Structure 1
Amino acid sequence: MYLYIKALHIIFIVTWFSGMFYMVRLFIYNTEASAKPEPAKTILHDQYRIMIKRLWMGITWPSAILTLIFGSWMWYMLGSLPGWLLIKLCFVLGLFCYHFSLQHIYAQQMKGVFRWSSQQLRMWNEVATIFLVAIVMLVSVKQNMSWAWGLLGLAGFIIVLMSAIKIYRGLREKETGERK
């Protein structure tokens, strides 16, 4: 039974992350639609609102809840809390905080409020990537991971990721001739 619960937990983790990754992309497109002339601006905002609501309420939220249910069930079946799992749960708590931040942006965009620039949203989108890498590494390597190397590796990954975003921004600005 444990392996079936584990499989369902993994399936809903994948759909939850997929939802969060695509959600922020939709936030970016919806934000960028504000710069379009009418009637394209209104048409795009209306379409993105529909897409955002369906993804958030139909896939992302249910996946987050089912991930939590199946993860808790596995923990109950495991009967103990190994050290690596405690650390993983800290990252999962951070991931839920990130999820709630997306809920806040969702609520704003549903009201037509765009407080985040598309560049800020691009940066924020990568936070989920950082959580994904940290959680998968912990689950895969478990007790064999060194704290020092794990933190150093995560810090290095964050530096590479942020550098890639800056390079992409520069290329995008050069291609479009815009400066933000």
Structure 2
Amino acid sequence: MIYLYLKATHIVFVVTWFAGLFYMVRLFIYSTESVQKQEPEKSILSKQLLLMQSRLWYIITWPSAIITLFLGGWLAYLMNYWQQPWFHVKLTLVIGLYIYHIICGRLHQQMARGIFKYTSKQYRIWNEISTLFLFAIVFVVVLKNAFSWIWGVAGIVALGILLMLGIKLYKTLRKDD
């Protein structure tokens, strides 16, 4: 029974972690756009958006990432997942997600220092990387040994293409406003 409680709690913290990552990059987009505004709007928006970033990052996103890692490790130990090939693929994807997470933290720190290196379009593209991680990890976990690598890779590539087309369409529609 402990396995089911751990699994449920792990899933809850995975969801809150991803929610934090998704919204954090959204805040990067808004922050980047706010520095292009005129005063006093620029100062007011920038200050508020940076405060929202910090609260989201340190109160929700980081704690969720840590708890996810702890619970996931506990589950892997209990179920001896280390011996299963699908778990190695999942672990590789999760390591990639933590690298993405750390890069997001660095981007937040840069913005807090007033450094805005990327455009809102680049952040929109960056935001979709976490979506690709989410899809890939969920499919590996659910399908396990039935996972067809050719179809799986093709599906992730197709999803990436669709996301990029969606960003391009959004940009086009936004210019029409």
**Is the pair's TM-score, using the shorter chain for normalization, greater than 0.5?**
yes
Identical-pair percentage? 49
SS of the aligned residue for 1:112 comes to: coil
Residue 49 of structure 1 aligns to a residue in which SS? helix
Which residue in 1 is equivalent to 2:101? 99
Q: State the partner residue of 2:69.
A: 68
- Which amino acid is the alignment partner of residue 130 of structure 2? A
Match of 1:148 among 147, 150, 166: 150
Is 2:13–2:65's contact at 8 Å kept on the other side of the alignment? yes
Q: Is residue 16–residue 61 contact of structure 2 (8 Å, CA) maintained in 1?
A: yes
CA distance in 2, matches of 1:77, 1:24: 34
User: Residue 53 of structure 1 aligns with which residue?
Assistant: 54
Deviation for aligned residue 1:174? 2.2
2-structure distance, mates of 1:44, 1:167: 26
Deviation at 1:166, TM superposition (A): 1.0
1:117 is matched with which residue?
119
Residue 29 of structure 1 aligns to a residue whose secondary structure is helix
C-alpha distance in 1 between matches for 2:170 and 2:51: 29
The question of 1:160 aligning with 2:162 is answered: yes
- Structure 1 residue ranges, 4+ long, deviating more than 2 angstroms after superposition: none
Whether 1:12 aligns to 2:13 is yes
Q: Which residue of 2 aligns with 1:174?
A: 176
Determine the C-alpha separation between the residues in 1 that align with 2:21 and 2:64: 10
- Cα distance in 2 between the residues matched to 1:80 and 1:18: 26
List gaps (5 residues or longer) in structure 1.
Answer: 176-180
Letter in 1 for 2:163: L
Equivalent position of 1:32 in the other structure? 33
AA paired with 1:105?
L
The answer to whether the 8 Å contact 2:81/2:87 transfers is: no
The alignment yields a C-alpha RMSD, in angstroms, of 0.8
How many corresponding residue pairs?
Answer: 175
SS of match in other structure, 1:114:
coil
Q: Which AA in structure 2 matches 1:50?
A: L
The CA distance in 1 between the partners of 2:37 and 2:156, in whole Å, is: 38
Question: 1:165 offset after TM fit, Å?
Answer: 1.1
The residue identity in structure 1 corresponding to 2:128 is E
Moved more, 5-14 or 159-168: 159-168
Q: What is the alpha-carbon distance in structure 1 between the residues aligned to residue 37 and residue 129 of structure 2?
A: 28
In structure 2, how many angstroms separate the alpha carbons of the residues matched to 1:139 and 1:25? 27
**Gapped regions of structure 2 (runs ≥ 5):** none
Q: TM-score, normalised by structure 1?
A: 0.95
